[in-house]
Amino acid sequence: MLVLWDVDQTLVNVDGLGGETFAEVFRRLVGRLPENSPPMSGRTDLDILGEMLRRNGVAPTSRTVARFQREFEAAFHDKVAALRRRGRALPGAVDAVAALAARPGVVQSVLTGNMRSVAELKLATFGLAAWLDFEVGAYGTESVTRADLVPLAQERAGRKYGAVFDARSTVLVGDTPNDVAAGHQGGARVVAVATGRTSAAELRAAGADVVLPDLTDVDAVVAAVTGSARR
């Protein structure tokens, strides 16, 4: 089974540090703060950055986007002290990931809107990285469309582990309707957790296969993830 975790508001909360860093990098490169910032929840960095640039009168050329990505990555890594001070693993996250790692045949990675090094930094900072295989994950600089990341992670995991990971054996865990849509469109079952800005009722309405209030009931998390994977 392949379990793909969203990062922000599913496993960790970084207290808005990513949005602040986007704004700082925009000011550094454009000379002013963005006046119109897009919603970020459940979106890839490529998607967010492209819309932020367009909303603020900057053409999102490949060169401009690449420069923003480089600057953002460096700027976020410079904020490790702030990340430790302001961020946290969400309740139950460490125990849930560890419990799934103890089950035979379970591969865990991430499917996130973050770029890889930023995702790794967040999860390592809060004690989650040891159980996640980042090599087979899929990241927010690899597609504008989040659903595209599901088959990318499945292919990487299949190549590394010599198994077929498809909609019957892949579970995405996330906290937004965008996670639900990405999982179903990309070819995965979805366990949604109401740990972000979206209520449990809204996640059910979005079509999540299972909805949990949070990750604190580890047995419930394991049952939801393993039970929602149709073998």
pLDDT tens track for 72-100? 999 999 999 999 999 999 999 999 999 99
Write down the pLDDT at residue 230.
43
Which of 124, 122, 130 minimizes the C-alpha distance to 18? 122
pLDDT tens track for 11-21? 999 999 999 99
Task: For residue 3, give both structure tokens.
Answer: 């379990």
pLDDT tens track for 136-182? 999 999 999 999 999 999 999 999 999 999 999 999 999 999 999 99
CATH code of the region 2-14+87-227: 3.40.50.1000
Higher-confidence position of 70 and 229: 70
Write down the pLDDT at residue 228.
60
Write down the pLDDT at residue 36.
87
Point out which residues pair with 109 in neighbouring strands.
Answer: 4
Write down the pLDDT at residue 231.
36
The residues, ordered by sequence, that sit 6+ positions from 57 with a Cβ below 8 Å of its Cβ are: none
Write down the pLDDT at residue 229.
47
Point out which residues pair with 24 in neighbouring strands.
Answer: none
pLDDT tens track for 170-217? 999 999 999 999 999 999 999 999 999 999 999 999 999 999 999 999
Q: Is 163 exposed, middle or buried (0-12, 13-18, 19+ CB in 10 A)?
A: middle
Question: What are the domain boundaries of the chain?
Answer: 2-14+87-227, 17-83
pLDDT tens track for 2-53? 999 999 999 999 999 999 999 999 999 999 999 888 888 889 999 999 999 9
